[in-house]
A and B are shown apart, each in its own frame.
Chain A
Amino acid sequence: MGNFDLLMHGFGIAITPMHLMLMVGGVMMGLIVGVLPGLGAPNGVSLLIPLTFALDPTSAIILLSSMYWGALFGGSTTSILFNIPGEPSSVATTFDGYPLARSGQSTRALTLAFMSAGFGALLGVIVITLLAGWASNFALKFGAPEYFAVYFLAFAAFIGMGSAAPMKTLVSLAAGLLLASVGMDSVTGSIRLTFGFEDLLGGISFLVVVIGLFGIGELLSTVQEGLRFRGVASKIDLRDVFKTIAELPRYWATYIRSGLIGIWMGITPGGPTAASFMSYGIARSSSRKGVPFGTGRPEGIVAPETADHSAGSCAMLPMLALGVPSSATAAVMMGGLMIWGLTPGPMLFATQPDFVWGLIASMYVSNLIGVILVLATVPMFAALLRIPFTIIGPMIVAICFVGAYTVSNATFDLWLVLLFGLVGYLFSRLDYPLAPLVLAMVLGHKAENAFHQSMVLSDGSLGIFFANPLVSSIMIVGIALLVLPKLMQHGSRLWRRAPVE
């Protein structure tokens, strides 16, 4: 039986009144969870797990995954409106989404984000439908050196093309790597950089840092600039939504490129956050003319959102077929799977076709529901920016602190938010880029572990990163991405200079 027949069978399971209700409910809950920073999808899904014991596994996974999709959509909202990423994977959306919203086009920014997200998710599900068996075999080829190569590639794609001063980028990157190494190291088991603070034992939470850097940091800058958001005068019109949808086909190249990056990072263990950064970096480097990235360019929203969602959907595949979750939320869902008595593994597709294909079919439906629901909320969310700063400002402060507290219920994190708020403010005043720091925090620890494991395996020889065609080709692409843009800059400068001389 072909995958297509199985998918049709899955639709038969997924489209029942009960399941449709679960999907709408799940997406709505996810939206709320995603909008509140800190209370991200992993927390939301784990809160729901005990409730799912009363459901059969297929209904349970439909509810949980719908909530995940909802949270992914919701996470972009606060990124765009307030520069506070609701989810780690929507950090890259702030770079262009927030400037665009501030320039009075919040409706356009939100619509761009949601449509791209929906497109990315669709692309991801199609890949799962068509390539389920092949993709999980491909993922098996990834050992420690290959993992490192993928992380290296993500770093290279984002950093090599940065426009900020190289030294400032380096400082920001190094600060991120330092922050990522706080806590217990899983390869050696030793405790690093905690300076005797027990609260630092678990490391510094990435989300707490991001809430401080972006949310509080941005607020401080706004205060300095005269206590108001620039987007106040934006008019809200449902027609803007449709106008934006009409301009989407213009970005087809960005869509396809970002979708592919997302699929790649979702299947191999890079995850949605890495995918969105990498996709943003590559979109920036391949753009030719128009307003620069970082000032509200549409491609700067399309690229990270498409990649984020296609990676998010594709991450379900390694979870089901290999038992390896490539995002925190997938890890929680996998825990649910085991409690429901299902063993993730290559045989799950054969032994539990109703469950697997019901889930895959539900991904089509619930993402569609998600897009419709979020588009309906666009005018409402965009209207938030019309509220005077004196009212919304204190609310943002409250949301930031509540969000940071919910990450791990630790009061220590509240101090960290304040501290990183100041850091974020100083960084933006002094023109240090924040993105390399964030990227280093997300991937630094994983990259370090993979490097360390590779070194254990190879007895300390770097040759292991070029030991087979797979790992060497990823490494070579990474090195090229890191070096070529600079070389090309120099090259074109020489070229231009030549006639003058």
Chain B
Amino acid sequence: MTKTKTGLLAATALMLAAPAFADFAPTRPVEFIVASGAGGGTDNFARTIQAVLTRDEIVERPIVVLNKGGGSGAEAFLYARQNEGDPHKLVFGTNNVYLLPHVAKLAYTVEDLQPVAALALDEFLVWVKADSPYQNVMDLVNAAKEAPGTIPFGGSQSKDTDETLVALIEQTTGADFKYVPFNGGGEVGVQLAGGHVAANVNNPNENAGQWQAGAIRPLCVFAPQRMAESEPVSGDMGWHDIPTCKEQGLEIESYQMPRTVWLPAGTEPEVLAYYQAAMQKVAESQDWKDYLAKTSQSASFLTGNELAEFIKTSEANAVKVFEAEGWTAQ
């Protein structure tokens, strides 16, 4: 009788004492697989997290960052599939994890990875050259309606986030742009400043330098509300002074790119809990807040059901655009 009681007590005590994430801790160095080349937005995202995790000793094993940016990041996701059930590998990407398989025939599906967390949302803006005649986004759209297929719209990569957004604008308004894909956001920014394309949809930090110099200016942001208050960037204008596209009459409520962290499928639930807790600590750190402010991204920490819900909506919206454009790979 007393024996059972003691046993029960001990069991309850154990269960209470052990927080969920303490059940797992890495026993080997942790690999961060980055789905972009060195120096890209995803690379900075992963390396900032690496720095916070290491410096604050949240993960007590060494962290190794590996860039596998081939095939628009598909290389990294295939690597996750090849390492099914490995608790020492984290994959860093954007929405490309779940969107790529829709537009290209690849040997992985989104089921080969499990989402851990989304830590930030990168905004999209419409930018034009400073001396361009377009004062708001509808001017640009109307110009493209009057002369279909002549206004060059730059973006990075093909059938990726930028081209999807341009296609979404076209489908919403009936305008017709000439989309020109380049290799990365920085390159598109310079092409716009040099007047080789008429507009682009870069993320804030890809164009901030040229805006600061007054070579280009933003028309509107694809977010439900204006961006967070900031110091003036160009003249007396700050990020919060940029109107939303909806305010200007373009009926696209929001278009944002999440920065996401994934595990290979088939790991134990404790592993997921461990990394979720670690990412939560990153998101609460001052270094992380500084990173978001410096790169003008919006804070947004999502895990579990919230994250699953976000992915579901974001995927459904994008697939609608893909289908209308005839991009779906089958």
A336 CA to B291 CA, complexed, in Å: 12
A30 contacts partner chain B, Cβ-Cβ < 8 Å = no
Contact in complex: A183, B71 (CB < 8 Å)? yes
The residue from B74, B105, B152, B205 contacting A338, defined by CB atoms under 8 A apart: B205
- As a 0/1 sequence over residues 146 to 168 of chain B, the CB contacts with chain A under 8 angstroms (1 = contact) are 00000010000111100000000
A142 CA to B47 CA, complexed, in Å: 32
Query: For B54, B182, B189, B190, which residue has the most chain A Cβ atoms within 10 angstroms?
Result: B190
Nearest chain A residue, comparing its CB with the CB of B233:
A343
Contact in complex: A334, B186 (CB < 8 Å)? yes
Residues of chain B from 31 to 74 with CB closer than 8 A to chain A in the complex: 37-40, 43-44, 47-48, 50-51, 54-55, 65-72, 74
Nearest chain A residue, comparing its CB with the CB of B66:
A409
A428 contacts partner chain B, Cβ-Cβ < 8 Å = no
Contacts of B159 in A (CB 8 A): 189
Residues of chain B from 207 to 229 with CB closer than 8 A to chain A in the complex: 208-210, 212-213, 215
B196 contacts partner chain A, Cβ-Cβ < 8 Å = yes
A478 contacts partner chain B, Cβ-Cβ < 8 Å = no
Shortest Cβ distance from residue A132 to the other chain B in the assembled complex, whole angstroms: 14
Contact in complex: B294, A339 (CB < 8 Å)? yes
A338 CA to B104 CA, complexed, in Å: 31
- A343-B212 contact in complex given A186-B181, A457-B152, C-beta closer than 8 Å: yes
A69 CA to B44 CA, complexed, in Å: 23
- A140-B38 contact in complex given A341-B294, A453-B180, A457-B180, C-beta closer than 8 Å: no
Shortest Cβ distance from residue B200 to the other chain A in the assembled complex, whole angstroms: 13
Contact in complex: A42, B209 (CB < 8 Å)? no
Nearest chain B residue, comparing its CB with the CB of A345:
B209
Tier of interface size on chain B: 35 or more
Contact in complex: A346, B209 (CB < 8 Å)? yes
Contact in complex: A50, B105 (CB < 8 Å)? no
Stretch in A70-78, A107-115, A232-240, A317-325 touching the partner: A317-325
Shortest Cβ distance from residue A356 to the other chain B in the assembled complex, whole angstroms: 13
Chain A interfacial residues counted at CB < 8 A: 52
A198 CA to B76 CA, complexed, in Å: 11
Contacts of A334 in B (CB 8 A): 39, 186
The residue from B38, B181, B196 contacting A143, defined by CB atoms under 8 A apart: B196
A449 contacts partner chain B, Cβ-Cβ < 8 Å = yes
Contact in complex: B209, A328 (CB < 8 Å)? no
A53 CA to B69 CA, complexed, in Å: 24
Contacts of B158 in A (CB 8 A): 185-189
Contact in complex: A50, B208 (CB < 8 Å)? no
Contacts of A345 in B (CB 8 A): 208-210, 212-213
The residue from A142, A144, A409 contacting B180, defined by CB atoms under 8 A apart: A144
Contacts of B250 in A (CB 8 A): none
A485 contacts partner chain B, Cβ-Cβ < 8 Å = no
A163 CA to B120 CA, complexed, in Å: 56
Contact in complex: A189, B189 (CB < 8 Å)? no
The residue from A140, A202, A325, A335 contacting B47, defined by CB atoms under 8 A apart: A335
Contact in complex: A346, B70 (CB < 8 Å)? no
Query: For B68, B72, B178, B180, which residue has the most chain A Cβ atoms within 10 angstroms?
Result: B180
Nearest chain B residue, comparing its CB with the CB of A53:
B51
Shortest Cβ distance from residue A173 to the other chain B in the assembled complex, whole angstroms: 23
A222 contacts partner chain B, Cβ-Cβ < 8 Å = no
Shortest Cβ distance from residue B74 to the other chain A in the assembled complex, whole angstroms: 6
The residue from B78, B157, B205 contacting A201, defined by CB atoms under 8 A apart: B78
Contacts of B160 in A (CB 8 A): 189
A346 CA to B186 CA, complexed, in Å: 13
B194 contacts partner chain A, Cβ-Cβ < 8 Å = yes
B299 contacts partner chain A, Cβ-Cβ < 8 Å = no
B193 contacts partner chain A, Cβ-Cβ < 8 Å = yes
Shortest Cβ distance from residue B46 to the other chain A in the assembled complex, whole angstroms: 10
A49 contacts partner chain B, Cβ-Cβ < 8 Å = yes
- A42-B38 contact in complex given A49-B47, A202-B71, C-beta closer than 8 Å: yes
Contacts of B186 in A (CB 8 A): 322-325, 334, 344
Nearest chain B residue, comparing its CB with the CB of A139:
B190
A129 CA to B178 CA, complexed, in Å: 39
Query: For B160, B187, B206, which residue has the most chain A Cβ atoms within 10 angstroms?
Result: B187
Counting from the closest, the 4 A-B pairs by CB-CB distance are A202-B70, A345-B209, A143-B196, A331-B39
11 residue pairs of the A-B complex, CB under 8 angstroms, read A43-B38, A49-B47, A183-B70, A201-B75, A201-B106, A332-B38, A335-B38, A345-B209, A345-B212, A409-B66, A457-B178
Q: Which residues of B contact A (CB under 8 A)?
A: 37-40, 43-44, 47-48, 50-51, 54-55, 65-72, 74-75, 78, 103-107, 152, 157-160, 178-183, 186-187, 189-191, 193-194, 196, 205-206, 208-210, 212-213, 215, 287, 290-291, 294-295
